[in-house]
Structure 1
Amino acid sequence: MPNTYYQDKTVLITGGAQGIGLGMAQAFAEAGANVVITDKDEEAGQEALKRLKGQGLEVVFIPCDVSVESEVQVLLQQVEEKYKKLDVLLNNAGIADPFVGALQELDMAVFDKVLAVNLRGPLLCSKYALPLLQKAEHPAILNISSTRAFMSEPDTFAYSASKGGLEALTHSLAVSLTKERVRVNAIAPGWIEVGEWKKESEKYTPQHTEQDKEQHPVGRVGLPQDIAEAALFLCSDKAGFITGQSLSIDGGMTVKMIYH
């Protein structure tokens, strides 16, 4: 896809200050988009802004907690004031730590918070983004789910449930927004290494064992760029016949039988 495909298009990325979100922000900005990053972590947001603007990219940062309806309303009002429309909404914000402890010790406040951010957040953002998406020629919503929507480790109740719900929300939105011409899809990442895409105080150098690599048929752990490349395609009119779908990007890990 030419780097100018997204020229003059506006892209909103929730949770865009670090990790996969930051990788997508860079990719869409490099493709010519006006990128709006939103994130609850203002420190990370300012660092992301400095990082991307230092590369000559068009990016703005607006702080927002996507689980709070009033903050989401203000966020979209600010996007409208600056850009008038929205071409792409990337629902990426989420509480990433999947472990919440044993069932008998589960803190329901933690469970509720994970669902509020990971599931309620995408719904709120989609709701308030819709009037701006309707002004775009080829509007698209992309939800960042997880392969944990389909498989689990022990004690990941909240995260797995939220991502499973996001998968269902994806096809529900897709069939509900047909008259509004909005395509809605999801990407379910597997193991994506984000150590070099964290804010400065949390950066680390990845250390992967041979066993880590061998768990993936492609022979390596994933990178934010792997998700970004797919997002660029799914949100473009090149994918105009694709809606309500979920693409697992995991290096083949979830289809490999592992006995060790």
Structure 2
Amino acid sequence: MNFSQKVVVVTGGANGIGKSIVTMFAEKGANVVIADIAEEAGEKLVLALKEKGLEARFISTDVRKVDEIERLMRTTFETYGCLHYLINNAGVSRWKSPYELTVEEWDDVLHTNLRSVFFGSREAAKYMRKNETGGAIVNIASTRALMSEPHSEAYAASKGGILSLTHALAVSFADDHIRVNAISPGWIETGDYGQLREIDHAQHPARRVGKPEDIARACLYLCDDENDFITGANIVIDGGMTRKMIYIE
């Protein structure tokens, strides 16, 4: 896959999964825009990529604010003259009892994880539709849209909403040749992979915990113009955990 001269925006791109997505697109020749509130980490990543001769820039963006999303997409288009791909990756979580979760905490999760996906996609699509070949949007959801642990209501709701929003936008943007897909990661270790226990890996049918690169490669696949028959889909990348039946004996 060659993304030379393509332009991609990655929200939440300064750290974790987003950082891997940014790096992989840059290595494939894309012009990458990192959108994040983590300014120091974002600028550091840009510097590291430029030292390798790769093209990237950082735009400080709080995806909870629609005006900042609008500025992000406008600035990207003014800088590169086009916009091809958007990876909606920014997200936060709150693990708190539903009896104690505040309205402010609920809104923060929903605005960051879900509302930003709609407005980010809408604003990006305004520029993607100018392209002869359209564009592609990838929304990072979660297997927690399909199953839950206690005290994850806001996060689960936001990720479930992303799945519904994905197929709705895929249909709405079809005439503009803009594909919209989702990826639902399972356990993706963004910390010290070497500190994981053997049982952490063994419980996965794939026999290992996921890595950020596993998600980044799927983003490349879904954005590749040759895969233009894939839209409205949700790809679960969890080492098989959601297909594993578990009984307590």
User: If the length of structure 1 is used for normalisation, what is the TM-score?
Assistant: 0.92
Q: Pairwise mapping of residues 151-166 of structure 1 onto structure 2 (< 5 A)?
A: 151-166=147-162
1:111 equivalenced with 2:106 (yes/no): yes
Matching of residue 240 in structure 1 with residue 235 in structure 2: no
Q: How many angstroms does 1:52 deviate by? A: 2.0
Who is 1:198 aligned against?
Answer: none
CA shift at 1:212, angstroms? 0.8
Shift of 1:61: 0.5
Q: Deviations over 1:187-233 (max 9, x none)?
A: 000100111xxxxxxxx564111211112111110011111111111
Mean Cα displacement is larger for which, 135-144 or 82-91? 135-144
Equivalent in 168, 172, 178 of residue 168 of structure 2: 172
Q: Which of 12, 21, 25 is the matching residue for 1:24? A: 21
* Mapped partners of 1:54, 1:161: distance in 2: 40
Query: Are 1:138 and 1:236, in contact at CA under 8 Å, matched by a contact in 2?
Result: no
The one-letter amino acid paired with 1:103 is P
Alignment-derived partner of residue 77 in structure 2:
80
Q: SS where residue 20 of structure 1 aligns?
A: helix
Moved more, 139-148 or 75-84: 75-84
Count of matched residue pairs: 247
Deviations 1:74-122 (A, max 9, x none): 1111101101111101111111x341x1121121210110000100001
Q: Which residue of 1 aligns with 2:116?
A: 121
Query: CA-to-partner distance for each residue in 1:115-155, whole Å, 9 max, x for gaps?
Result: 00100001111111112111222410110000000000000
Rounded Cα–Cα distance in structure 2 between residues aligned with 1:205 and 1:89: 28
Which residue, out of 77, 88, 112, partners 1:91?
Answer: 88
Q: Does 1:215 align with 2:203?
A: yes
Say whether the 8 Å CA contact 2:94–2:105 is kept in structure 1: no
1:53 CA displacement: 2.0
Q: Is the 8 Å Cα contact of residues 187 and 249 (structure 1) preserved in structure 2?
A: yes
Query: Is the contact between residue 134 and residue 176 of structure 2 (CA under 8 Å) also seen in structure 1?
Result: no
Distance 1:102 1:7 in 2: 47
- 2:51 corresponds to which residue? 54
RMSD: 1.3
Name the CA distance, whole Å, in 2 between partners of 1:27 and 1:138: 22
For the 8 Å contact 2:94–2:109, the answer to whether it is kept is no
Alpha-carbon contact 1:145-1:186 (below 8 Å) kept: yes
Residue identity (%): 50
CA distance in 2 between partners of 1:257 and 1:208 (Å): 23
Q: TM-score, normalised by structure 2?
A: 0.96
C-alpha spacing 1:52/1:259, structure 2 compared with 1 (3 Å): farther
Q: 1: distance between equivalents of 2:34 and 2:228?
A: 25
Matches of 2:193 and 2:15, distance apart in 1: 15
Q: 2: distance between equivalents of 1:151 and 1:94?
A: 18
- The residue number in structure 2 matching 1:185 is 181
Q: 1:141 aligns with which of 137, 144, 148?
A: 137
Deviates more, 1:134-143 or 1:64-73: 134-143
Deviations 1:40-87 (A, max 9, x none): 111221122122223221110000011101111111111011011111
Unaligned runs of 5+ in 2: none
Select 1:45's aligned residue among 42, 45, 51: 42
